[in-house]
Chain A
C-alpha cells in the first residue's frame, strides 16, 4: 500500500479551499444563531450552559484528531510512506488548538458551575496531558534537525501517548470527578433535550468543517516545507 500525492491531488485540494471556507463560515453563523438565540437556557445552569456548544465539539475533535494522529504514525511505522507523516504533521496543530479551546472554555464554564476555574480531577488533568502531548509532538519534530530521526521519535511519542485517549474518555466513569459523565453515547439515548442537541450538532459540524479546511491548508504547507527542505539539501 503506497499512496502517492501528485499535482492533480494538490490542485483538487486547492480548488476545494474557497468552498470549504465558505461552508465553514456559513455553518458557524447558523450554529451561533441556534446557540445564542434559539436554544433555551438550562433549568439549573441558566445561560452559562451555552458554553457547552463550543466546549463539547472542541473536546470531541481534540480526541478525534489525536486518534487520527496516532493512527497515521502507526501506518507510517508500518509502511514508511511519507504521506502518513505529512498527514500527522498537518493535523497535530489543529488538534492542539481544539484541546486548548476545550481547556479554556471548560475552565470558564467551571467557574459559574463548580465555583472554581480549575481542579486537578481526572478528566481535566488527562485533557491537560493531551495538550502537552500535542506540544511535545510538534516541538520534537521541529527541534530535531535529522528529519528521519525526528519522524521516528515524534511518531513513537504520539503512539505511546494514545494510551491517554481511553483514560480521558472513561476518566469520568473510573474516578470520582467534578466533570459530569457523557450526555451523548452510542449505547443509550442522549440525556440532552432536542432543543439543545440541534445547536450542539450544528456547532459540531462547523468545527468539523474547520478541522478539514485548516488541515488541508496545513497539508499543502507541510508538503511545500518538505519540498523546500529537499531542494535546499
Chain B
C-alpha cells in the first residue's frame, strides 16, 4: 500500500495529476447536468407563461 502511495518517489506528481484530472471532469460534468436542469425549468416556466 505504501509503495502505491509513494509511486517510486513521484507521489506528488502522479497523485496531483490524477486528482486534478478527475476533479475537473466531475465538476465539469456536474456543472452541465445542473445547468441542463436549470434551463429545463426556465423553459417550462416561459412555455407556461406563453400558453
A contact set with B: CB distance below 8 Å: 28, 32, 36-37, 41, 46-48, 50-51, 54-55, 58, 93-94, 97, 100-101, 104-105, 108-109, 111-112, 210, 213-214, 217-218, 220-221, 224-225, 227-228, 231-232
Contact = CB atoms under 8 A, between A and B. Distances in A.
Given A97-B24, A231-B50, A214 B32 contact: yes
Contact of B9 (A37, A46, A94, A100): A46
A231 B28 contact: no
Contacts of B47: 231
Nearest to B32: A217
10 contacts: A36-B4, A47-B9, A48-B7, A54-B17, A93-B28, A94-B28, A97-B28, A105-B17, A210-B25, A220-B36
B9 A224 contact: no
A33 B45 CA distance: 45
B46 A228 contact: yes
B50 A221 contact: no
Nearest to A111: B13
